[in-house]
Amino acid sequence: MLGAVLAIFLIALAGGLAIRAGASIAGAASTAGERVPMLGGCAPGTHAWSRFHARWYPMALLFLAFDMEMVFMYPWAVVFVSEGPLALMEMLMFIAILVVGILYTWRERALEWA
Amino acid sequence: MIGSVVALLVLLAAGVVATALIDSAVGAVVGGEPVGRALKGPFTRSALLAVQGRTTTERPDAGTWRLAPALLGGLAAVGAAAVPLGRGLAAGDVPDGIVLFGVAMALVMVAVFLHGWSPNSPFPLFGAYRFAALALSYEMPLALVLIGTALPAQSLSVGDIVSSQAGLWNVVRQPLGLPLFLVAVAGLAFWGPLNVADAPDLVGGTAAESSGPALLAWRAARSAVLVAAAAMAAAAFLGGWNGPLLPGPVWMAVKTMGIVALVVTSGHRIPRVRLERFVVVAWVVLIPLALLDVFAAGIVAL
Amino acid sequence: MGLRAALSRLAAAAPVPVFLAPGAGGRSPAQRLRLSPYLEVVDSPRRATVMLVVGAVAAGAAEELHRVHDQLPHPRAVLWWDMETGATAPPPLPTAERVVGDEAAVVGAVVAAHRGLLSAGRPSSPPLLADVEPNDWRGVGPFGQGGKGMTGGTPYGRPLPTRAPDRDGLELDQLVLTLGPWLPMLPAGLVVEVKLQGDVVQEVTLAPSPGLVPGAAPADVFERARVEPVPIAELELARARHHLLWAGEVLVLLGLVAESRRVLRAAVAVVPGAAAAELAHAARTAGALASARRLRHPMARVGLVGADRLGEVAGPTARASGVVTDARTDDPAYRSLGFEAVTEEAGDALARWRVRLGEAVRSLELAAEAGDRLTSVDCTPEGPRGPWRAGGPSPSTALAHLAPGLLVGLEWGDAVVALASLDLEPAELAADAARPAEST
């Protein structure tokens, strides 16, 4: 069945590339002036690519911790009913520790950046 | 298999067209304009974008720029493939459907980021980084509430999750689930109040430098993400194909488009959120609520 | 090819995606064009087939105008709406088609140009800027890499951003952008130089575009009120209309484009002699917007202006910071109507939103009660942005002094909303800048 999923992905991908190729009735804009990034009239002084200050990086670190937790939760969900209250308690304890992380990050105001 | 693959892609395309029509119609109602004329808009606009010429920017990353809309569309299709239209009617009926869906939707961040980063232009770049912050905030509620629906089904298969709702839909059994999931749906498709990536204050954000066919592909792919996520919402929370009188697939279509209409209408009524505030709310309110939802679902399931 | 011809026919029937470049006196007519069902005003030139210059643009902005023109994809056309405002020089656009007349004539010309491009073989407007790279540096490698390196030279014609200290104690790249004059989220005609680290504003400088011709716009009722008595009813209707048009602009920035059209429609109906039902509808619209809970979030606590920071600023911005100042309270005619200034305490963008829309409601009431009363000419008239004496500096100049400090430290989206909440008019800045030259 993963074959079907792969086929779906590839067909949709090809479709996206085909739409993008378009049926243009006019040529592409290609002079140096036509390529200038859009800033409302003025030209940029520099490239846009830069060491962009992603000020939410503490949040990204917090996300990593939770993303790992998610990996454990998928199999946990399947065996949850058969394992019973023990599974619930174990996961509750695990999550409670992670939630302390959220509270700490929040208290440090690390989720805000402006 | 070939039949189901083709059927899925056709249905997804139909969903994209329907989304554009709903958006036009709701926009006309909110704007106080005749709806009939607005319904022609999506077709004529799309035709115009298809025949418009291409533009480029100074030294873009042309390969990834070309790839981004296609990748987004491909991921939407994979996400939709995990959702069964009727009993046993999933194009990609993998046993762990919600994991497949989660994987596809997590990679949406890559597609959107590439789309904003590739043109080497400031406003798309800002849109890209904004979306990354948004995505890191909605991912957790998205995955958690889906896991909540897997608990009573004792399975990660979307088909089993739908079957487990034959008696009572998850929207009632897990009342926190659907509202949280809807926020995540709007975030995934960066639609309406959560359209921080392609926002007007960035002259269209990641799509600011896109014109013609590239823009058409991008908008279609974005709508496809919305449809795929709405289909998952219908399956996981609204009982999927369960429903009286009408055949299962029709119920799925009705429920999916109902969710789409809800998100689209919110886009015409609720202003764009302040990203920074949303990040705080997502971590401090939405994620704890999603965890609560999972544990409440667990206790109910036991 | 059959498919291409069919698509072109369908595309010709589309609402024309038009990019507006308003010049002097073009802001309000440009807003009205948003209401035409035949046009779709787009925010990036990359989506337009037609660029429409509205009003007068002086040669000082030729390069910017040409650059925006070149950013439209082919096939494209450029039109100039000559509003015959006295500044008769055409904009510096050799390929522009001149249109005179009212809105309907302009919409007709835009639609005709669009259809001509798509189905009648109208040639696409050729590029206006020279096909020269901004800088000829290339590295030694086959893709232009190497040599001085991506961080050292000017790869692919432009240098990379340089580093600057950040308030986090880090030293990171700073993007220095000169934005405008035709960036839809900024007031048309304003050139904003902004330094950004990440998406946070570090430094802002504002200036009117050299393309703005002072005095090109026809004198409105507020300008006439400086030199002669005008009917209060007319003045107040103009104020209500101004504030509603402004609210429509802000709604676009908040992502509510369809709703902004509804507000614009209510606004343009507010003219002297309008039916009572139209005016009542406008008042209801303004009142509902002023108190809408759903609109609070993006404006609350954005762009805080304490009363101590106001400086020369008067008008709605000062009233939103709790300062009871309104030139109308000095006018005996207004006093006889029992006029009281509308104020708010918070001093944020939301307070300014509420003051302006509250004033729009109040203005519509005043207009109904005023009868044929006239303003007194010895009192400074209160314009929509504050009092403006004949010969004195404009309210926008005071706002332009306030704005840079207000925007620093804000996330870009908040900065845009904060700037819009001040309702700055670049044409007034240009007029102020021109005045000393006249007096010498």
- Three-state SS string over chain B comes to CHHHHHHHHHHHHHHHHHHHHHHHHHHHHHHCCCHHHHCCHHHHHHHHHHHCCCCCCCCCCHHHHHHHHHHHHHHHHHHHHCCCCCCCCCCCCCCCHHHHHHHHHHCHHHHHHHHHHCCCCHHHHHHHHHHHHHHHHHHHHHHHHHHHHHHHHCCCCHHHHHHCCCCCCHHHHCCCHHHHHHHHHHHHCCCHHHCCCCCHHHCCHHHCCCCHHHHHHHHHHHHHHHHHHHHHHHHHHCCCCCCCCCCHHHHHHHHHHHHHHHHHHHHHHCCCCCHHHHHHHHHHHHHHHHHHHHHHHHHHHC
Q: What is the distance between the alpha carbons of residues B18 and A5, in angstroms, rounded to a whole number?
A: 24
Express each pLDDT in C241-259 by its tens digit. Answer: 999 999 999 999 999 999 9
Best to test chain B binding among C20, C42, C46, C192 (most B CBs inside 10 Å):
C46
Helix axes C232-253, C276-291, angle to 10 degrees: 50
Q: Is the pLDDT of residue C43 over 50?
A: yes
Distance between CA atoms of residues C193 and B283, nearest Å: 34
- Residue numbers in A near C182 (CB within 8 A): 40-41
With beta carbons under 8 A apart, name residues in chain A contacting C93. none
The residue ranges of chain B whose pLDDT is under 70 are 92
- The SS3 assignment for C44 reads coil
List the single residue in C71, C74, C262 with the smallest CB-CB distance to B53: C74
Which residues on chain C are in Cβ contact (under 8 Å) with A52? 173, 198
What is the Cα C3 distance to its own chain's centre?
Answer: 40
More reliable by pLDDT, A20 or A12: A12
C46, A43: Cβ pair inside 8 Å? no
Percent of all residues in chain A with a pLDDT value above 70, rounded to a whole number: 99
Q: Which residue has the higher pLDDT, C137 or B97?
A: B97
- Cα dist. B299→A81, A88, B98, C351 in Å? 9, 8, 21, 47
The answer to whether the CB atoms of A39 and C178 lie below 8 A apart is yes
Q: Do A29 and B133 touch (CB under 8 A)?
A: no
Note the pLDDT tens digit of each residue in C213-222: 876 667 788 8
Q: Which pLDDT belongs to residue C440?
A: 39
Chain C: give the shortest CA distance to residue B60, in Å.
Answer: 10
d(CA C183, CA C174): 21
pLDDT at C57 over 50: yes
Kindly report the nearest CA distance between residue C275 and chain B, in angstroms.
19
C285: left (phi over 0), alpha (psi -120 to 50) or beta: alpha
In chain C, positions 254-293, which contact chain B (CB-CB < 8 Å)? 254-259, 261-262, 265
User: ∠ at Cα C152 (C146, C154), nearest 5°?
Assistant: 80
**How confident is residue C212, by pLDDT bands cut at 50, 70 and 90?**
confident
How would residue C149 be classed by pLDDT, with cut points 50, 70 and 90? very low
Residue type, C346: A
What kind and span of H or E run contains C105? helix C103-119
Nearest CA to B127 among B207, B47, B59, B186?
B207
Lookup: tokens for C231: 């009917």
Q: Is the CB of residue C245 less than 8 Å from the CB of residue C286?
A: no
CB atoms under 10 Å from CB of C319, counted, come to 23
Contact B99 A92 (CB under 8 A): no
Query: Which of B94, B283, B286 to mutate to test binding with chain A, by most A CBs within 10 Å of its CB?
Result: B283
| DSSP letter for each residue of A27-56 | PPP-STGGGS--SBBBPPSS-S-S----TT
Interval C66-84: pLDDT, tens: 999 999 998 999 999 988 7
Which pLDDT value is given to residue C161? 84
Alpha-carbon torsion (B281, B285, B289, B290), positive or negative: positive
Confidence at residue C143, expressed as pLDDT on a 0 to 100 scale: 62
Q: Is the omega angle on the peptide bond into residue C90 within 30 degrees of 0, that is, cis?
A: no
Chain B residue whose CA is closest to A92: B295
Tell me the residue ranges of DSSP E strands in C236-381: none
Is C82 strand, coil or helix? coil
**Subunit contact C47:B204, Cβ cutoff 8 A:** yes
Chain-centroid distance of CA C99 in Å reads: 22
Condensed to tens digits (0 to 9), the pLDDT of residues C300-336 reads: 999 999 888 888 888 999 999 989 888 888 888 888 8
Say which of C46, C159, C181 has its CB closest to residue A38: C46
Beta strands in C26-73 (DSSP E): 39-41, 50-54
Token pair recorded at residue C53: 């210059």
Point out the residue among C61, C191, C409 whose CB comes nearest to the CB of A114. C409
Q: How far is CA B102 from the centre of its chain?
A: 12
ipTM: 0.93
Note which residues in 240-279 of chain B have CB less than 8 A from chain A: 276, 279
Enter the DSSP assignment of C329. G
CB neighbour burial string for C387-425, b if at least 16 within 10 angstroms, e if fewer? bbeeeeebbbbbbbebbbebbbebbbbbbbbbbbbbbbb
How far, in Å, CA of C245 to CA of C263, rounded? 7
Interchain contact, A2 vs B94, CB within 8 Å: yes
Answer whether A39 touches C (CB < 8 Å): yes
What amino acid is encoded at B65 in this protein?
W
Asked if residues A54 and B129 have their Cβ atoms less than 8 Å apart, the reply is yes
Residue C47 and residue C239: Cα distance in Å, rounded?
34
Give the residue among B223, B49, B218 at the shortest CA–CA distance from C7: B49
The one-letter amino acid at A24: S
Strand partners, C56: C24
By Cβ distance, the residue of C13, C73, C199 closest to B130 is C199
Shortest Cα distance from C440 to chain B (angstroms)? 41
Beta pairing partners, C88: none
Q: Does the pLDDT value for residue C159 go beyond 60?
A: yes
Count interface pairs A-C at CB distance under 8 A: 142
Contacts of C192 in chain B (CB under 8 A): none
C residues 296..315 contacting B (CB < 8 A): 297-298, 302
Three-state DSSP state, C332: helix
CA distance C383 to C386: 5
A-to-B residue pairs, Cβ atoms closer than 8 angstroms: 240
Is residue C144 over pLDDT 70?
A: no
- Which residue in B91, B93, B147 is closest to A77 by CB distance? B147
* Adjacent-strand bridge partners of A52: none
**What per-residue confidence (pLDDT) applies to C4?**
85
Q: Which of A22-31, C10-19, C199-208 has the lowest mean pLDDT?
A: A22-31
Q: Do C261 and B31 touch (CB under 8 A)?
A: yes
Q: Are B170 and B236 in contact (CB under 8 A)?
A: yes
Dist CA B132 CA B205 (whole Å): 13
Chain B residue numbers touching C251 (CB-CB < 8 A): 271
**Closest to B235 (Cα-Cα) out of B93, B67, B74:** B93
Q: What are phi and psi of C22, to 5 degrees?
A: -75, 135
In this prediction the pTM is: 0.94
* C89-113: average pLDDT: 89
Task: Decide: C27 and C219 in contact? Cβ < 8 Å.
Answer: no
Residue C218, Cβ density class (10 Å: 0-12 exposed, 13-18 middle, ≥19 buried)? exposed
Assess whether pLDDT exceeds 70 at residue C240.
Answer: yes
Spatial contact of C426 and C181, defined as CB atoms under 8 Å apart: yes
- C249 touching B, CB under 8 A? no
CB contact residues (below 8 A), chain B span 117-136, against chain C:
122, 126, 129-130
Q: Is C42 helix (H, G, I), strand (E, B) or coil?
A: coil
Q: B32 to chain A nearest CA, in Å?
A: 30
Q: Which of A105-114, C139-148, C360-369 has the highest average model confidence (pLDDT)?
A: C360-369
Least confident span in B178-192, C88-102, C257-271 = C88-102
pLDDT reported for residue C307: 87
Rounded Cα–Cα distance for residues C397 and C400 (Å): 5
> How close, in Å, is residue A21 to chain B by CA atoms?
7
Nearest-5° angle of CA C18, CA C24, CA C25? 80
Q: Which residues contact C78 (CB under 8 A, 6 or more apart)?
A: C50, C51, C52, C53, C69, C72, C93, C95, C96, C97, C125
Q: How near does any CA of chain B get to the CA of C421, in Å?
A: 14
**How high is the pLDDT of residue C436?**
64
User: Residue C148 above 60 pLDDT?
Assistant: no
B51, B54, B268 ranked by CB distance to C259: nearest:
B268
pLDDT per residue over B201-256, tens digit each?
999 999 999 998 999 999 999 999 999 999 999 999 998 888 888 888 899 999 99
HSE-up (13 A, CA, CB side) for residue C379: 19
Dist CA C26 CA C189 (whole Å): 10
